[in-house]
Structure 1
Amino acid sequence: MKWSSAVGILVLIAGSAYAAEGGPQGVQLGDIDRKAEPCNDFFAYANGAWRAQNPIPASMPRWSRRWAAGEANKDRLKIILEAAAATKAQQGSIDQLTGDFYASCMDEARIDRLGIEPLKPQLTEIASIRDNAGVQREIQRLHAMNVSMPFNVYGWSDDRNPNDVIVQIDASGLGLPDRDYYFKKEPRFEEARAKYLEHVQKMFELAGHTAGDAKVAARTVMRMETSLAQHSLDNVALRDPKSTDHKMTFAQLQQLTPHFDWQQYYSTSQLPRGELNVAEPEFMKEVDRQLAATPLADWKTYLTWHLLHSAAPSLSKPFVQEHFAFNSAYLEGAKEMKPRWKQCAESADALLGEAVGKIYVEKYFPPQAKARVQEMVQNLRLAMGETIEGLQWMTPATKQRALEKLATFNPKVGYPDKWLDYSAVPISRDSYWNNVIAGRQFNIRDNWSTIGKPLDRGRWGMTPPTSDAYYSPALNEIVFPAGILQPPAFDLAASDAINYGAIGVVIGHEISHGFDDQGAQYDAQGRLHNWWSDADLKAFQTRTACVVKQFDGYFIEPGIHHNGRLVLGESIGDLAGARIAYRALEISRRGKPPLPTIDGFTPEQQFFIAWGQFRGDEIRPEFARSMVQGDPHPIAKYRVIGPLSNLPEFQQAFQCKADAPMVRAAEQRCEVW
């Protein structure tokens, strides 16, 4: 599943995120850098003062009001979880589950005292493997605990028949961020490989291996992962859904990987043997080759490593610190770990998210907020419809199919109508790692239980407290959890211009994902099916090529620039999102008085400043390099200046001259939707 992200900030005001005193609130005046010129560098102008006054916290790889939102959400989860932990609750109740989970996580003294001990049952299982069949049984056992290697098995909608949920098999099992880290010759990738070897060795030493044995184990892991990476698709190829569409029968899967006993795997996992999809057949052939050719001892080392890698954040302090040192400090530039309570809140949300989320929405997401956002979503859909109808480059027949797709969009706002039932999950205060396993096993079983059944469109792919949003092409749905619908992304007290400039652009962004380079390949029923005429598709691709070229030219430092093809979908989303949100704001005012100028800023200026302030991240160089390598989102600076420099409405709002840096010449201007 490919989801787009956007995050907002939370402000606690007398126990609520919302306030409505006085007139409508405008832009954050203190965030604006008055020394910067909006027509020269709107990113610096809109949020430069805030970034200068709010350095990145030591535990974060980037920082802004929107990232502060996600962290403030965890402050709220802390309140919820501490209250639950202090309650003597009935077994299986939300308070018992979340409270005991949180209490077990916060019992650092016990966790540190136990060290590697909680992992001994799984480590012993791996050590006792005697043959190839044992390797395969262990892969299944680890999958059931959400340790996904060397491949991943899960249930998801069939790209060709989206109302059916089928087995999906993806490539997995790499410890470095993506395949290119194993091969690229630039010094930063060579250094990453060396650091990874050191990290793997240290983790084996913490697990009780001698330094010599641990060094050999690390080399074994690197050798196996490099071979797997060599047969993996790169990040750009993975963006094309056709490159991962390989539907087959159970018998064909067995023929593809003859050395793997899929009957045993399916039987143990209780999976129906219907049609399935293998995202990367060449990768699975390499897994099969390694099953036949790689020594048993090497497989045991590989399985042990991925168990250690997956469990480390849930074990004693030395494991947590070493996991942080490589994955957060080295790869992302973080200077220190988040406080323990925050790690525990994140873990509770990840594993028991709808239990925690049910309390969260009761406390922090009032009904009037949901109603207002639903109204905004409707106006954004109207704006997208008007945009499609007005396109000069699209023929009427293709327009009609685009409008049909728009009409089938399913918006989800705030929280699910039906909540997951966690009451049978065995959570206690005795063992944090056992609780983690229980939560993981519940979520894996819950997902596997959907396979072979009609698609349940009521399910959510994010928890309610999540400060994010997504679009699903197969389900043709846009989803906005309560965690993102908070000030200043969305605020009942804010001017409409502010709300449409912040969360409105996010809503438009998610709608436009249905029509980006990926989403445009899915039809109104969510099928991977071409609904374009040849001429219209060619015109669309010409317009998207403009966006690729624009973002290819954005450097984060000398010698390192964005890959326009990798960030194409998100950049189309930002460009179209800003354009249709601006139109939706106009739609919202039809038949109503004009919006007011606030603090000297016109409604049009408020709209664009709201987007600049919402997206205003300061980022560590290590994390920026990681994003450019593998993240489909551009860094925040270019998510602001990139789309806005294409909009005549922005130029007009700030009266920018034609040759200003924030104004792209007409012949260079990108316009997709």
Structure 2
Amino acid sequence: MTRPYRIASTLAAMLALAACTGKPDAAGSKAGDILAMNRDTTVHPGDDFFSYANGGWIKQNNIPNEESSWGIGNLVVDENLNRLKTINLEAAKAHAAAGTPQQKIGDFWATAMDSTGIEKAGLAPLQPYFASIDSLNDIKGLPALVARFDQLGVGSIISMFVAQDAKNSDAYALQFWQSGLYLPEREYYLKTDSTSLNILKTYQQLVARFLTMSQLPEAEANTQAAAILKLETAMARVHRKLADLRDPYHNYNKMSTAALFKLAPALQVDQYFKILNVPKADTVIVGQPEYYKELNTLVTSTPVATWKAMLRFRLIDNFTEALPDTFGIEKFKFSRLLSGAKERKPRWKRVLRNEESVMGELLGQLFVKEYFNATAKQRYENLVEAIRGAYKTRIEKLSWMSDSTKQKALQKLAAIKKKVGYPDKWKDFSSLQIGTASYVQNLINGNQFWWQYNLNKLGKPVDRNEWDMTPQTYNAYYNPSNNEIVLPAGIFTVPGHRDEDLDDALVYGYAGASTIGHEITHGFDDEGRQFDKEGNLKNWWSDEDGKKFNDRAEVMVRQFNNYVVVDTFKINGKATLGENIADLGGILLGWDAFQQTEQYKKNEPISGISPAERYFLGYALGWLGQTRPEALRNQVLTDVHSPAKFRVNGPFADVDAFYSTYKLTPANKMYLADSARVRIW
């Protein structure tokens, strides 16, 4: 089960790197100075810093056909994927003893890569589940079938999970979230522009195609595909908007289980619990009660044949990669509308993506042994403390915050827990069964393992040492309930460069600002600031300070609302506010910390670039790349992160040190008057 409660993450370009050696002749003595080589010096840095910093590389590197975007992040991911591929190939050759990590990894890989066997099996691995759908005769049996499919990893209309209680972070709670949509976000169902209408039309065709390919008569498949789209559109109308999901109080609705049963009697939640062996729970937290109220109506008003067709489609779609290739090809044709990619990724990359979802931390144990040692772990822990120290000083000097709120902010900052590289204690995968029966069965076993793993938390003490990402993940996050930042080993990679070849300026911009400072600032963004030092949803701000924060944040909302991304699609300043605040905060903290280094104090240029300039170029390097228009449109509608270009140019326009470093004047396109700049942290 994916936990839908927000974990603020860096997503595609939150890169980090290595030791702060401060060598004056570093920055790629063997590979060349990456910061100098990537520039497009025909662009003025004050007009479009993203293009100035990265434009040289972008001009020389087209987006590969299999990708929706291409940049340094993809290079890092590819490097790590090749490392994981080596681990898998070695495990497959080892024929290790049953139950060992190598046996599970090796068998998963060998079975998933056996395309001949998968083609021969056809839809046979799904036949028992088709039979259970066919046996559904009335609506009363729907919740039970939904429950069984949820266990298989086939989500549909109910999103139930166990997570920390936002107002009592020491306890796990049973929680419900809005669900039911196949497309990434409600707006896809409700927008009436030609692009959105084409996506809906093509989605309906995909549903009909999958139903027909699973032996449903063509006429019935077409009828049910139209009915499914109508049903999902009705659900979308009661889904909360992306920006509204960022209000933790509005999405915290605690009620008795009896009240939930009454809210949606047609869902028979008590039977749903019984089938899933849910431990006794007196209360639940419902994120969006209006969704479940409307779902209750839709369950009774929608013909059972449509529900059966929806579950049939979701079953096929969920296991597409483990079925004959014709299914994967059909799904890819549709996904191109959202990603812009022209070709499917090779099979081995698709297999690794599924394998990571099943046993990513098991792979991670082998990954860190080979590619991330204890010395590197300590190095990044030290960098975290340098950034924390810079934030402490910045809070102490705030002119707009009262002393009482400052003290609580400082207490929360000091309490932030750092997790760097990999867990101190690994998850136990001994009960996960992986064999050679079928690719589908291995995926089902994995889904069932994780479903039970999550459910087993209910009623037990909160494990604050748990990681929600694997060590090899190219990402990072702040978890408000634990008041922690988590920095997996996978982000500490710079392709083509060794750690010791990187100067402090590059490191403090690239890692200190865009990852570490960014994640720490999430504890104090528009959403994170509403949690206290113990991770509880609790107001620790004075009314006056809270108003001052919101007024200053509103300046950022207005700034980003004006950025046009592609066509008429603009950034949603409210939905992206937390990430934009974290970007700006990270840049300011990284800069403050960098000024304490020897490189900054000596002010010796490298490749003719001053340390101050290298800091800003280092930050921009983390966003190096380009994205197809289709993917940009999708990002604007579905993502709380602004597109890469605006994660550079947007916050830089608010940083005074950027103006002084590059001598900006009102004639420059990025210039904002001092009164229009965002002043929060």
TM-score between both structures, scaled by the size of structure 2 = 0.95
Residue-by-residue CA offset, 1:266-317 (whole Å, 9 max, x unaligned): 2332222132211111111122222223222222112212212212222110
Q: Secondary structure at the match of 2:675?
A: coil
Match of 2:112 among 105, 112, 137: 105
Q: CA deviation at 1:47?
A: 0.6
SS at match of 2:249: helix
Matched, 1:495 2:521: no
Q: What does the per-residue CA deviation read over 1:477-534, in whole Å, with 9 as the maximum and x for residues that have no partner?
A: 1111110011269934311111110111111111111111111111112111111111
Change (3 A) 1:532 1:99: same
Please state if 1:183 is matched with 2:190: yes
Q: Does 1:542 align with 2:551?
A: yes
Superposition deviation, residue 587 in structure 1 = 3.6
Q: In structure 1, what is the equivalent of residue 594 of structure 2?
A: 585
Aligned to 1:24: 26
**Which residue of 521, 525, 534 corresponds with 2:534?**
525
Structure 2 counterpart of 1:33, one-letter code:
D
The one-letter code matched in structure 1 to 2:292 is M
**CA distance in 1: counterparts of 2:69 and 2:380, whole angstroms:** 28
SS state at 1:428 partner: coil
- 1:24, CA displacement in angstroms? 2.4
Query: Which residue number in structure 2 is paired with residue 564 of structure 1?
Result: 573
State the alpha-carbon separation in 2 of the partners of residues 104 and 627 from structure 1.
Answer: 34
Instruction: Give the CA deviation at 1:39.
Output: 1.7
| Cα displacement (A) at 1:621 | 0.2
When residues 516 and 105 of structure 1 are mapped into structure 2, their CA distance, relative to the original with a 3 A threshold, is same
Q: Aligned residue for 1:621?
A: 629
Higher relative contact order (CA 8 A, sep 6+): 2
Instruction: State how 1:468-479 maps to structure 2 within 5 Å.
Output: 468-479=475-486
Q: CA deviation at 1:471?
A: 0.8
Q: Does structure 1 retain, via aligned residues, the 8 Å contact 2:20–2:502? A: no
What are the residue-to-residue correspondences of 1:85-164 with 2, within 5 Å? 85-164=92-171
Contact kept in structure 2, 1:475 and 1:526, CA below 8 Å: yes
Matching residue within 634, 640, 657 for 2:642: 634
**Alpha carbons of structure 1 residues 596 and 609: separation in structure 2 relative to 1, 3 Å:** same
For residue 275 of structure 1, the aligned residue among 280, 283, 288 is 283
SS for the counterpart of 2:478 is strand
What is the rounded CA distance, in whole Å, between the counterparts of 1:325 and 1:115 in structure 2? 20
Instruction: Give 1:51's aligned residue.
Output: 58
Pairing partner for 1:4 from 1, 4, 9? 9
Match of 1:304 among 289, 309, 312: 312
Indicate the residue corresponding to 1:171 in structure 2: 178
- Residue 343 in structure 1 maps to residue 345 in structure 2: no
Given that 1:127 and 1:300 are in contact with CA atoms closer than 8 Å, whether structure 2 keeps it comes out as yes
The answer for the alignment partner of 2:48 in structure 1 is 41
Q: Aligned equivalents of 1:502 and 1:285: distance in 2?
A: 46
Aligned residues of 2:122 and 2:323 also touching (Cα < 8 A): yes
Q: Contact (CA 8 Å) 1:166, 1:274: kept in 2 or not?
A: no
Give per-residue Cα distances to partners, 1:241-266, cap 9 Å, x unaligned: 12211011211111111223222222
* Change in CA separation of 1:311 and 1:656 when aligned onto 2, cut-off 3 Å: same
Q: 1:664 to 1:10 in 2, by over 3 A?
A: closer
Q: Which moved more, 1:98-107 or 1:594-603?
A: 594-603
CA–CA distance in structure 2, aligned partners of residues 617 and 672 of structure 1: 29
With structure 1 as the length reference, what TM-score do the two structures score?
0.96
> Structure 2 counterpart of 1:88, which letter?
H
Aligned residues of 1:379 and 1:587 also touching (Cα < 8 A): no
- What does 1:263-662 align with in structure 2 at a 5 Å threshold? 263-272=270-279, 273-327=281-335, 329-487=336-494, 491-505=499-513, 506-589=515-598, 594=602, 596-662=604-670
Partner residue in 1 for 2:673: 665
Match for 1:530: what amino acid? Answer: N
Residues 490, 503 of structure 1: 8 Å contact kept: no
Q: Aligned equivalents of 1:580 and 1:9: distance in 2?
A: 16
Equivalent residues of 1:470, 1:479 under 8 A apart: yes
- Give the CA deviation at 1:77: 0.7
Amino acid at match of 1:540: F
- The whole-number CA distance in structure 2 between the counterparts of 1:207 and 1:280 is 34
Deviation at 1:658, TM superposition (A): 4.2
Verify the 8 A CA contact 1:383 1:587 in the aligned structure 2: no
1:195-234 pair list within 5 angstroms: 195-234=202-241
Deviates more, 1:485-494 or 1:248-257: 485-494
Q: Which runs of 5+ in 1 are unaligned?
A: none
Q: Identity of counterpart residues, as a percentage?
A: 36
Rounded Cα–Cα distance in structure 2 between residues aligned with 1:247 and 1:17? 46
CA distance in 2 between counterparts of 1:593 and 1:195 reads 58
CA change 1:503–1:20 in 2 (3 A) is: closer
Q: 1:18 to 1:219 in 2, by over 3 A?
A: farther
Shift of 1:596: 3.8
The alpha carbon displacement at 1:6 in A equals: 4.3
What CA distance in whole angstroms lies between the structure 2 residues aligned with 1:65 and 1:6?
13
- Distance in 1 of aligned mates of 2:231 and 2:535: 37
Q: Tell me the distance in 2 between the aligned counterparts of 1:211 and 1:269.
A: 35
Give yes or no for contact 1:77–1:356 (8 Å, CA) kept in 2. yes
What SS class does the counterpart of residue 176 from structure 2 fall into?
Answer: strand
- Closer, same or farther: CA 589–388 of 1 in aligned 2, 3 Å: farther
SS of equivalent to 2:676: coil
8 Å contact kept, 1:206–1:318: no
AA aligned to 1:250 is T
Instruction: Tell me if structure 2 keeps the 8 A contact 1:9–1:65.
Output: no
Q: Would you say the 8 A contact 2:485–2:520 is kept in 1?
A: yes
Secondary structure of the residue that 1:502 maps to in structure 2? helix
**Could you tell me which amino acid in structure 2 is paired with residue 205 of structure 1?**
T
31-40 or 265-274: bigger deviation: 265-274
Change in Cα spacing, 1:627 to 1:10, as seen in structure 2 (3 Å) is closer
Runs of 4+ aligned residues of structure 1 deviating over 4 Å after TM superposition are 6-12, 16-23
> Where does 1:41-80 land on structure 2 (aligned, <5 Å)?
41-80=48-87
Q: Distance in 2 between matches of 1:27 and 1:398?
A: 43
Q: Distance between the aligned counterparts of 2:666 and 2:290, measured in 1?
A: 51
CA separation in 2, counterparts of 1:400 and 1:493? 40
Spell out, residue by residue over 1:553-612, the C-alpha distance to the aligned partner (whole angstroms, 9 max, x if none): 11023422111111111111111110111112224559x963642111111111100111
Match of 2:30 in 1: none
> Aligned to 2:267, what secondary structure does the other structure show?
coil
Deviates more, 1:82-91 or 1:283-292: 283-292
Amino acid paired to 1:510: E
> What is the alpha-carbon distance in structure 2 between the residues aligned to residue 572 and residue 239 of structure 1?
14
Is the 1:8–1:484 contact (alpha carbons within 8 Å) kept by the matching residues of 2? no
Pairwise CA distance, 1:132? 2.9
SS state at 2:590 partner: helix
Superposed displacement of residue 9, structure 1? 9.5
User: Structure 2 stretches of 5 or more lacking a match?
Assistant: 28-32
CA contact (8 A) 2:149 2:155 kept: yes
Report whether the alignment pairs 1:84 with 2:91: yes
Query: Kindly tell me: are residues 52 and 17 of structure 1, through their superposed partners in 2, closer, same or farther at Cα, counting changes over 3 Å?
Result: farther
Distance 1:595 1:70, change over 3 A: farther
